Every structure is written in structure tokens, then in C-alpha cells.
Chains A and B, each alone.
Chain A
């Protein structure tokens, strides 16, 4: 029923917008015939024909990691080894049909899936200082999820993001933005990648919003000065029999998850998440901190639980660049080296970063044997090298300590991971 209403609302919006465009087209003076051209403004040529644009896009992230994971006697096997794998391989397209109607689709080629999946996949209507987004998107996610996987400071996002399950879902969203603020809201269902096929079940429902404000935001060639605040909230309902899972890896992209609440019995039926964000930049020095708390109810017996977590990042650009902030979206973009490798004696962008990361999942569910509750405290240091725009290497060292809440889960665990990522995008 809810989904039905949503679909109707979306169609109504589409119809109104299309009507407005048609009316405008009739009254516009006859323009000269558009000419076809190709523009190379970044790393890939963009085809242009009148107001229409089209270009290919892609990214490739290849990781090598060495891990020592001691899970402290849990059923999960310890993981000590050196491996390499493709963390992300996307190929996509981006463009605009008219000045206002735009689209973006990124197909996920790796991690491999049995069927084709997508990352961003949406149609967007762009107004003066707002845009309407229809499709798979994350425009209301908190700060770190709004930063592209190409531009996040460490190889993986902070642990609380995994626990709370931030990411893309399909639905309708709207974002308004000014020079130093943004406000967004979205109503979304399941991800289009979801394998749920039972039409007897209702779909997952997410209602979310985010507001950001930067009282200080000033950029010059010498760098950026920024003070950013953000708040976000999300309420979601699992719908059918599938319950939400809450789990995180020890700052790692692969392998076991020492803290995990999942399964039909203990998983969440519904939950509400609140987040606060603080970020700052003073020339080459950056700070980001987020705190997120999640209140939920289990599917089987409606038991309430609360999980929370936070992280604090500090970064220092040795080559002087500031992180690039986007005031109308409240997020960070790519860092472009001032002096790329091989030009003017430059060697690209080099930065050091440190992170403290904590999650609290001690609040008891009903304690099935498959669940492992506890706290995870982690720290990481990273060295980042961007020799030229669109090429990046990250060297990360991460150490996590896991403190289980139930003695039955075994001795406390520990994880140490050293990893190197090589990535490029176009």
C-alpha cells in the first residue's frame, strides 16, 4: 500500500515536470541546429550535442592485505594470511538529456555477483538550487557515506557505518543546497540489488533526512578554511520476514565479522538512527568526527536494543592541499594535487591520516548462539599518495580490539591488518 502511494507520487512529480518542460519548449525561440562535439575536460571525453551530454565512467580498486585476526575462540576461524583482491570495479555512464534531466548509472563488475548489480543508478531533475533524484541513491546518508569510495580517507568506512547499514536504496529523494548548506530528504524501499523475490512480503521502507551547515567555508589557492556541522536521521522498517543485520569487520574489506547480530530471530524489524557530524579544515590540516546511535526492535519478540559508535579522523597534507569540500552537498570530493608527479618538480599529493574508531554493540538481544555482542575499539594510520589526479595509492595500518559482552563468546579478540590499495578512475 505504502509502495503504491510512493509510486503514484513519483509519477505525479514526473508528469508535472515533463509538462512544465514541454510548455517551455513551445515558447522558446527557435535555436540554431545543435552541433556535435567532444570535450576533454577530465580524464574521459564527453560527447556533447546541444544541451545533451554523455560520458563513460569507471573505477578500479585493487587491494593487497596482510592480516592477523585472532577472534578469541569464537566459532569463526582465525584469519592469518596475505591476500589480494579487487575491492571495486565499476563501469558506468553519466550524462544529461537536457539541461535539467540528468542520469548516472554505475554497474558493479566486482565484487563479483551472480547477477548484475548497480551502485548509483538514478535519474535526476536539476533545478536552480535543488534536485530531485529517482532511483538507487544515498543522498540523505551521513557524511562518510556521501564521500565517494574513491575519496574516503581510509580504505574502508568507519565501523558504525557497517553496523547501521548505510548505503544506497531505491526511491525518491530531494536535495536543496546553498553556498554553505544542504538539506535533503528521501523515501526509499529496498536496494534494487536485493534478491528478495517473494511478493507475499512488503518491501523494506526507509525515510531519512540530512541537514548540513558550514558557518566557515572559504577557499583560496592557499587552501580551504572550513567548519562543518551536520545532522541526519533515518527510520527504516524491514517489511517482510527479512530482518536487518548489524555487523562490522575490524576496519577491513574482507573476511570475518567478530561482532554480528543477524538472522531471522535476532535481527531488527525496525530501527531509528541519528547522526551528528563535525568536520574542519585549516589549510593542510583536516578533522572529521561523527557519532551515530541506532535504536531498534527485534523482529521476533519486539525487544528493544541500542547500538552506537563514533570515529575521529585527523589528516595532514604534506604537500599542502586542502580536502575539497562541496558546500551545497555537505561532503568532500577528490583532492587534486597542486603539483602532479612529473610536472614542475612535483610529486603529487601526499598525506598522513589517523583514525580512532569505536562501536558499542553490548546491548543484549535475545542472545542466540549465532550472535556475538560486544565493543570494538580500533585505530588506524594511513599514508596516501595521489601522484596525478584520478590515480591514488593508500597504505593503511589498522589495529582493532574486540571485547565480547558474553563470556560464552570466548576470550577477547584482536585484529591487525596492513593493506595497500591501488586505484584509478575515469
Chain B
């Protein structure tokens, strides 16, 4: 009797579940960097049109760190990143059986913005550090404290949250140590919140990818950055020619290597690489040379695993340097 009851429950459950598991369109799950988001979103939209909805693509923007957390749990097919995968993320992915193919997709000029009424036109990296270093917390509250020539305005800061790759990159490039930052600023993983904050506050400063500045030029002013060779304005051209240093940086997609065996994911990866230059220009990022995309297309087709960065940040690298680096699968010691 008991056995019969049990069998009944089991069969009923089975029936319910199999009928509920009706065929659905294959969905490629992407998450990660909000800096890469506009590019990935543009590619995804166009790809879905091309395949007339047979393959769905969803793109999230929970930040580079947040994206890798999901990616290394096997929840996403592709992770967008505005910095290379870190050593600890490599270890997490490794223990979960997740191998990945690293594709640099474009370059960005990390842009420092202020309110358009601010008379300032350029800033040195040392001045940036004086504003953003952990020691500035609660102490540097007026522009004039940074430099006597700066306006007498209360300083209010906006920036990406700690799950952001932009945060990781900016803190290492400016403050000298990744993730070392004052924390008394308004953080958001959504760059539009930073745009809104800086645009509505006279004494505000913020930072994010060039695409978000270009989209909001009328409401913001971008500062030229002087790292010792005179002020250089953030632009596609200056990121390309390597003069906008150290705030030019590569952006990546990381593709789950096992998922690349699926025709839908392979097709999307190839579409992304083949069209990265076009959409990068469209959203104001810097495309890589055509030969680089050719190399990365082969990398995706052959599912060549690993990272060219060994789990470390790449501050101030040029496009040519990124392309020349070999792949490794273990973190490289300092």
C-alpha cells in the first residue's frame, strides 16, 4: 500500500515536470560590466534580429565582479568585463569546472566628468589621487583643498560600486592599489545614476566609460587628464594612439568554453567578434585592429582557453601590448 502511494506521487510529479519543461527558445545569458553593457547590448539586439528570435540573448549589468560571480557558478554563458579576470576569480571558476575563452573586444577611455558649469578643464593624476585616495575620506571636501587654483565649491563625488571593474581599474591606476578608495561617495553599478548625480550637482565629480560621457555630452564636462606629458582629452583617437594613459583600458568578454560547443553560443561569439569594431564605434569605444579580431575569431572557433593577464590588472597597456600577450591558465605570481 505504502509502495503504491509512493509510486503514485512519483509518477504524478514526473508527469507535471515533463509537461512544464516544454521546449523553449535557447537563451544566451550575459552579465557583467556596465561599461561593456552598451556594446554587448547593441550586438545582442542586432544578433536577435538576424536570427529572427530563434536565439534569445539577455544582457545584465551587475558589474564586472558581480558578473564573474555568476559566471563562475555556471549561471551565465558570457561575462562582460572592464578588467581582466582576477586570480581569485580564476580559482573560483577552476574549482567549479568552468573554463573560459578570453576575447578583448574594444578599448575604452575611462572618463572623469564634472558639472558643465565647473570652470576646470583638466586635472593631473596626482590631483585625482588627492581626491580619491582612502586618506581623503572626510578630509577633502572642497575643490580648493585639492589645488588653490580650483574653484571654491563643495566637492560631491559619484562613482561605480565595488562590484565594478571600472572601480577596480580606476583605484589601481589612480590610487596605486586596486580597490583602495575613499568610501564617502555615492556609489552605483548603474552608470546612468552617476551621470544623473554629476549633471545635477555643481560641485560634482564622477568617472565611468567614455560611452556614457558621449551619450550625455550636453549635461557633463569631461576633464583632460595629465599624467606628466600635458593634458590629454579622453577620446577614441587618444585611446587608440596610446596617449590617454593610464586611463585607457581594454574591455573583454569571457565565454564559457563548454558552452562554445553549442552552435547558438558559437554563432553569437563569432557574430560579436565580427561586428565588434562597428558597434564599438557606434557606442564610442575604440575598436581593435582588424587583424586582432581575426586572431580572436580563431580563438573562439578553437576554444582556446585561458587569460593573457595571469589574474592581474593591466594598467596603461596599449592595444598592441594586449594583442601580443600569450594565454595562460594559472595565475601568474607577482
Contacts and interface: CB of A to CB of B under 8 A. Distances in A.
A350 B17 contact: yes
Nearest to B87: A128
A225 B3 CA distance: 33
A251 to B, nearest CB: 15
Nearest to A321: B74
Given A218-B258, A326-B95, A381-B10, A318 B17 contact: yes
A39 to B, nearest CB: 10
Interface in A296-328: 318-320, 324-328
Interface residues of B, number: 32
Given A179-B94, A327-B94, A383-B13, A66 B2 contact: yes
Interface stretch (B96-104, B108-116, B141-149): B96-104
Contacts of B96: 219, 324, 326-327
A219 B98 contact: yes
A324 B74 CA distance: 10
Interface string A319-351: 110001111110000001000000000010010
A222 B94 CA distance: 17
A352 B97 contact: no
A238 to B, nearest CB: 37
Interface in A185-230: 214, 217-222, 224-226
Contacts of A347: 17, 20
A74 B180 CA distance: 71
B286 to A, nearest CB: 31
A66 B76 CA distance: 43
Nearest to A385: B13
A370 B98 CA distance: 53
Nearest to A319: B17
A85 B232 CA distance: 72
A221 B2 CA distance: 38
Interface in A331-390: 336, 347, 350, 352, 381, 383
B271 to A, nearest CB: 19
B98 A35 contact: no
Residue of A218, A325, A395 with highest tally of chain B CB at under 10 A: A218
B3 A397 contact: yes
A221 B29 contact: yes
A311 B20 CA distance: 33
A220 B14 CA distance: 25
Given A319-B17, A324-B96, A416-B2, A220 B10 contact: no
Contacts of B6: 381, 395, 397, 418
Interface string B6-44: 100110011001101100000001000000000000000
Contacts of A319: 17, 21
A221 B72 CA distance: 10
A327 B21 contact: no
Contact of A219 (B18, B29, B74, B135): B74
Nearest to B77: A221
A397 B4 CA distance: 11
B327 to A, nearest CB: 16
Residue of A178, A220, A347, A381 with highest tally of chain B CB at under 10 A: A220
A327 B95 contact: yes
Contacts of A336: 73
A383 B9 CA distance: 9
A359 B160 CA distance: 60
Contacts of A179: 94-95, 97
A408 to B, nearest CB: 32
Interface of B: 2-3, 6, 9-10, 13-14, 17-18, 20-21, 29, 73-77, 94-99, 134-135, 180, 183, 256-259, 262
Give 10 closest A-B pairs by Cβ, nearest first: A32-B134, A220-B258, A219-B97, A220-B259, A318-B17, A217-B97, A179-B94, A218-B258, A219-B74, A328-B95
9 contacts: A177-B95, A220-B256, A220-B262, A221-B256, A222-B259, A318-B18, A320-B21, A327-B95, A347-B17
Given A177-B95, A220-B98, A327-B97, 17 more contacts: A66-B2, A178-B94, A180-B97, A214-B97, A217-B97, A219-B258, A222-B258, A222-B259, A222-B262, A318-B13, A318-B14, A318-B17, A318-B21, A326-B96, A327-B94, A329-B95, A381-B6
